[in-house]
Amino acid sequence: MVMKPRFIVDAMLSSLARWLRFLGYDTLYCETQSDNEILERVGDLILLTRDKELILRAKNRGFHVLNPGSGSKKAMLEKLEQELDIQFVANPDRSRCPQCNSGLQRKSRNQVLDQVPLGSLRNHETFWQCDNSDCLQVYWQGRHWTRIQNTLRQLRRQSAQE
């Protein structure tokens, strides 16, 4: 079985870190850590950053580091797919919590009654809840899910044209 890449992402790429987590990738997000603290944590993770100095320091230490670019989310995901020879697929049963990176568990409407807005309860039957007892965030396939699917469809169309 091929191991999925695992990432460490600096503060410049917070939105990309959330996307990678939604897409099921173990992603350590370093919001407040210094470059030195990030380098201490890299290990076998793939460092994603736009910081040229951090890229140079990480490469000099032999770490796997990638600059996903500064374009759209789709452009950054496309670059990661090409560089890492992977294909991003959205599967909520394999997603990770975009807030804390913990796993998600499928839940029924009845299991999350007191944690979800009434409109979402009416419109959705399946939910996913974070495993982390300090988080317990609940997710469902709302507008954000549609945006994710649309972005991935655009990626697939672009890949097919090349």
Report yes or no on whether pTM surpasses 0.85. Answer: yes
How many domains, in total, are found in the chain? 2
**Residue 70, pLDDT above cutoff 80:** yes
For position 111, what pLDDT does the model report? 95
Cβ atoms of 49 and 55 within 8 Å: the answer is yes
Q: Range with the lowest mean pLDDT among 42-46, 64-68, 155-159?
A: 155-159
Per-residue confidence at 10, pLDDT binned at 50, 70, 90? Answer: very high
- Which of 136, 107, 137, 102 has its CA nearest to residue 124? 107
Domain carrying residue 146: 92-161
121 shares its domain with 142: yes
Name the residue with higher pLDDT: 49 or 142. 49
Domain harbouring 135, CATH code: 2.20.25
Mean pLDDT confidence for 31-54: 96
73 shares its domain with 19: yes
Give percent of the chain above pLDDT 70. 96
Domain harbouring 59, CATH code: 3.40.50
Mean pLDDT confidence for 136-140: 96
For position 3, what pLDDT does the model report? 79
Spatial separation of the C-alpha atoms in residues 88 and 64, rounded to whole Å:
19
Residue 85 backbone class (left: φ over 0; alpha: ψ -120 to 50; beta: rest): left
Cβ atoms of 6 and 45 within 8 Å: the answer is yes
**Residue 96, pLDDT above cutoff 70:** yes
**For the chain, what is the total number of helices (H) and then of strands (E)?**
6, 7
